[in-house]
């Protein structure tokens, strides 16, 4: 099992700033992640929340279950020290992903408070960032 957790506004993919995030929808993202999981022989559960407390709860759940995580923290990336502290308790790989490249956007997006406690970060490859992260987690698990 791998959790794919998504933060604020990601359910609005396809309509939210398509010039930045593309025309693909959250349903497209969910299917892509599940299909990638099938190819890799692992179950993938995709979730999205606009609520910081819910996200922290999911990270605790993953830590307690030793479940790897692909995490797009979205806006939480830049300010959620609560999420950062939850990720620091992880017991399995956690890959931070972003659809766009935050470093190429507005200055306030350049800092990630969660990157320092993630296993790694993949950004700027559109929805393919998730595919790359799922492959990376499976590669880490095989070692």
Distance between CA atoms of 36 and 74, rounded to whole angstroms?
Answer: 22
| Whether the predicted pLDDT of 21 surpasses 70 | no
- In sequence order, the β-bridge partners of residue 45 are 3
pLDDT, mean over the chain: 92
Tell me the two tokens of residue 91.
Answer: 């017991």
Based on the residue annotation, tell me whether 21 is a catalytic residue of this protein: yes
Q: Which of 94, 95, 119, 124 is nearest to 109 (CA)?
A: 124
Q: Is 6 annotated as a binding residue?
A: no
Q: Is 80 annotated as a binding residue?
A: no
Give the three-class secondary structure for 122. strand
**Which whole number is the average pLDDT over 79-83?**
94
Amino acid 137: pLDDT: 98
Distance between CA atoms of 113 and 79, rounded to whole angstroms?
Answer: 6
Based on the residue annotation, tell me whether 135 is a catalytic residue of this protein: no
Distance between CA atoms of 39 and 41, rounded to whole angstroms?
Answer: 6
Q: Is 135 annotated as a binding residue?
A: no
Task: For the domain made up of 2-141, give the CATH fold.
Answer: Rossmann fold (3.40.50)
Side-chain-facing half-sphere of 59: CA atoms under 13 Å: 29
Active-site annotation holder among 3, 79, 81, 98 = 98
Band of pLDDT at residue 110, cut at 50, 70 and 90 = low
Side-chain-facing half-sphere of 65: CA atoms under 13 Å: 12
Q: Is 100 annotated as a binding residue?
A: yes
| Among 21-25, 74-78, 110-114, 120-124, the range of highest mean pLDDT | 120-124
% of the chain surpassing 90 pLDDT: 76
Side-chain-facing half-sphere of 6: CA atoms under 13 Å: 20
């Amino acid at each position: 099992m791998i959790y794919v957790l998504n933060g604020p506004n990601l359910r609005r993919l396809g309509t939210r700033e398509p010039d930045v995030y593309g025309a693909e929808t959250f349903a497209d993202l969910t299917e892509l992640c599940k299909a990638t999981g099938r190819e890799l022989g692992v179950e993938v559960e995709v979730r999205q929340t606009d609520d910081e407390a819910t996200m922290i709860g999911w990270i605790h759940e993953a830590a307690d279950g030793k479940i790897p995580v692909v995490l797009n923290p979205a806006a939480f990336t830049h300010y959620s020290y609560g999420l950062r502290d939850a990720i620091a308790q992880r017991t399995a790989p956690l890959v931070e992903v972003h659809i766009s490249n935050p470093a190429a956007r507005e200055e306030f997006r350049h800092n990630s408070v969660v990157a320092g406690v993630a296993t790694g970060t993949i950004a700027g490859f559109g929805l393919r960032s998730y595919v790359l992260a799922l492959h990376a987690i499976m590669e880490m698990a095989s070692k």
